[in-house]
Structure 1
Amino acid sequence: MTKQFIYKNLTPDDFDNIITLGNFVHGDGYLNSENIRSWYEKGVKNGINSGYVVYDQDKLIGFRITFAAGQWHVDKWCSPQLWQVPVDKSCYFKCNTVDENYRGHGIGGQLLKLSIAAAKEQGSLAGVSHLWKQSPGNSAVKYFTKCGGQLVKTHPNKWYEDSKNGYNCILCGYDCHCEAAEMIIYFD
């Protein structure tokens, strides 16, 4: 018998569960009450919410945070000259997190599909993300590639500054040297 997971738009009622799961998976200091509120707000545009959560009964087992096009900052880790779409038509896939006990069931892919549909309704033509290359077996890049993602550029030490400001990487601690794969998905 296949489990029936419950997918729905992310709301402020989910914040505490998202912070707990996010910090467990990504490392302490990754999420807090201030940044989750800001990240949520960046995902809502024209009344359309591009953030999603998934539950197994009452347990949060995954979430996808996506920033709407025009509502996120293109920083030094972004290469818009290589994207082939305007910055103001590109959403940003900030975070995809699935509880390790639920991986391999297509949950991450389903969360991404839901966010893409919402981002398209918001006016996006593509979505950019920075994938953690040190994920177990480079699974983050593999999953994103399987979903249509294309490599734009690799960025060494992407989270180093964050680690000096309180982010405790689960691999490197407070001296993170993990690499990011800047990737893009073009929407049809």
Structure 2
Amino acid sequence: MTVIYKELTAADHAAVLELGNQVHGENYLTPESLADYAQRGLVGDTNLNWLAFVDGKLAGIRLTFAPGNWDIDEYCTPSEWPVSVEQMCYFKCSAVDANIRGAGIGRGLLDHSIQAARQLGCKAGLAHIWMQSPNNSAYSYFSRCGGELIKEHADRWYRLSVEEGYHCPICDGVCHCAAGEMILRFKDFS
């Protein structure tokens, strides 16, 4: 299997919407939110948003926000972070086609985003990991990559499900899933 990694472009949006919503649930990504997320991952010529293709088909996505392009909200605990917010990107979304999970695509996408984030001076990244993902795979994956749990936050996607029509595949509608606020320090990445 040959995996081709490339930066996200507007031409990829339809495929990204399809895969992201297939993995995370209906309306997790919308055309409007994806356009916003794509911009949050751009600083000059540096793009933190990466895609993986296998046999010409989109197999994985990694949407990452640049420092200064994401909000610190009630689900963040900056006093527990090992670096300043100016040195941290935000890992917004990752999805890999269910038919090819376990092939290293998620890790490859993460590595590409980290390399781009390092160009902006980042020393770590923050993620809100879906703790109720099937078989708790999101937490297991991010932990294997070196992610450290800072705090769990209940009802992380509740507002998205009530106000913006997100349909959680686990909660069958209104989402009460918890998010693991996790930090990934970049010391172990090439």
The runs of 5 or more residues in structure 1 that have no matched partner are: none
Identity of aligned residues (%): 46
What is the rounded CA distance, in whole Å, between the counterparts of 2:104 and 2:34 in structure 1? 24
Equivalent in the alignment of 1:184? 183
Whole-Å separation in 1 of the counterparts to 2:87 and 2:15: 31
Q: Any idea what the Cα deviations from partners look like across 1:134-157, whole Å, max 9, x if unmatched?
A: 111111111111111100100111
Q: What is residue 61 of structure 1 aligned with on the other side? A: 59
Q: Give the SS at the match of 1:152.
A: strand
Matching residue of 2:86: 88
Kept after mapping to 2: 8 A contact 1:46/1:122: no
Residue of structure 1 aligned with 2:24, choices 23, 26, 42: 26
Structure 1 counterpart of 2:172: 173
1:12 maps to what in 2?
10
- State the secondary structure of the residue aligned to 1:35: helix
- After superposing on structure 2, the runs of 4+ consecutive aligned residues of structure 1 that deviate more than 6 Å are none
How far, CA to CA, are the matches of 1:82 and 1:95 in structure 2? 22
- TM-score (ref. length: structure 1): 0.96
Query: Helix, strand or coil: the match of 1:116?
Result: helix
Q: Which residue of 2 aligns with 1:141?
A: 139
Deviations 1:31-62 (A, max 9, x none): 11111011011001131001100111221111
Instruction: Report the count of equivalent residues.
Output: 186
Unpaired segments ≥5 residues, structure 2: none
- Supply the distance in 2 between the matched residues of 1:84 and 1:58 (Cα, whole angstroms): 39
TM-score, normalised via structure 2 length: 0.95
Alignment of 1:144-159 (within 5 A): 144-159=142-157
Shift of residue 81, structure 1, vs aligned partner: 0.8
